[in-house]
Amino acid sequence: MRQLPSGILPIDKPERITSATVVNRIKKSPEVKKAGHTGTLDPFATGVILCLVNQATRLSRFFLSGWKTYDAVMVLGTETDTQDGTGTVIKKYAVPKIDNRLIQETMARFQGEISQIPPAYSALKHNGKPLYAYARDGAPVHKSARRVEIDRIDIQRIDLPEIRFRVCCSSGTYIRTLCADIGSELDYGGHLKDLRRIESSGFRIEETEPLKKLEQLAAEGRLSEKIVPMAPALRGMAAYTADKALTERIKYGKMIYQHEVDGIPENDYIKVIDSDANLLAVLSRPKDGDRLDYCCVFHHG
């Protein structure tokens, strides 16, 4: 059985399964040697998951740090222990008619760089064990607040107690914590009811395929039709096309110096491709010095 070309499978995750389950179902294809994902979605959430296949698993850090966009529904007046609709209700409030302007002004204050305390029910690790495991055992671990960035929050509909909104945020942002914090700021509590990721690291929901369709294509030996090659998948990263000499240096892992490479971009990271647009390497530019460092090198053929 031939091996699937290395690249990215943009998947529309269905609800009621974990992100790890999505990857495991892709890994059942005999064409897939290795696979991983680039950012967990809770089981109740749906939307964009980027599955990295074969050599592309080595690019995970460039996608993990990417911006995400979500469509969310927040419910005011009810707090849960998980900050979402899957948890146990711990407090309820009567929600009167709230002026829409107050809601808009309150939510606008969460734009920009904010501080978030990760939820006790999360996959973050403590001593090698996920936080949700401690919480389920009745001994929740509370992590320190972290800085995250909300690029924008756009309210789409207010139909109290529900508020539908779209949010673009940095990696590591918890939308359920955002809902709980907004509810607290309004003095009525709140939790996340529905969540759909519509963009991740530049990949939009329109570019994804349902998991079941990808499994069917895998069964037919046609999964390669949906693979996005590694070089174009690194959207927004500066590119440089290597000549024969540079290709040979990369192939054998030889030192590369900026002054030797004419016209190489002055970005922090550069994807180096060959004349066929195959990804040869990702290089990083140190803050000082002339040398370019290897982040990862790829072999083709």
**Annotated domain spans of the chain:** 7-65+202-232, 68-200, 237-297
The two tokens of residue 218 are: 């895998």
Angle between helices 175-185 and 100-108 in degrees, nearest 10: 130
What CATH number labels 237-297?
Answer: 2.30.130.10
Please give the pLDDT value at position 189. 95
| pTM score of the predicted model | 0.91
Please give the pLDDT value at position 129. 67
**Euclidean distance between CA atoms 91 and 74, whole angstroms:** 15
Please give the pLDDT value at position 137. 61
Q: Which residues of the chain have pLDDT under 70?
A: 1-2, 120-135, 137-141, 143, 301
Kindly report the length of the chain. Answer: 301
CATH of 7-65+202-232, one of 3.40.50.720, 3.40.50.300, 3.30.2350.10, 3.60.21.10: 3.30.2350.10
Please give the pLDDT value at position 39. 83
Let me know if domain 68-200 sits in CATH 3.40.50.300.
no
**Which among 12, 42, 84, 181 is annotated as catalytic?**
42
3-state SS class at 106: helix
Please give the pLDDT value at position 290. 87
Residue written as token pair 């240096």:
249
pLDDT digits (tens, 9 = 90+) for 167-192: 999 999 999 999 999 999 999 999 99
With CA atoms as reference, report the closest residue to 190 among 71, 73, 72, 78: 78
Please give the pLDDT value at position 287. 82
Please give the pLDDT value at position 117. 87
**Euclidean distance between CA atoms 134 and 78, whole angstroms:** 23
Instruction: Name residue 222's amino acid.
Output: R
- Same fold for the domain at 7-65+202-232 and the one at 68-200? yes
Q: What angle do CA 269, 273, 275 make, to 5 degrees?
A: 155
Please give the pLDDT value at position 126. 58
**Catalytic annotation present for 71:** no
Please give the pLDDT value at position 93. 93
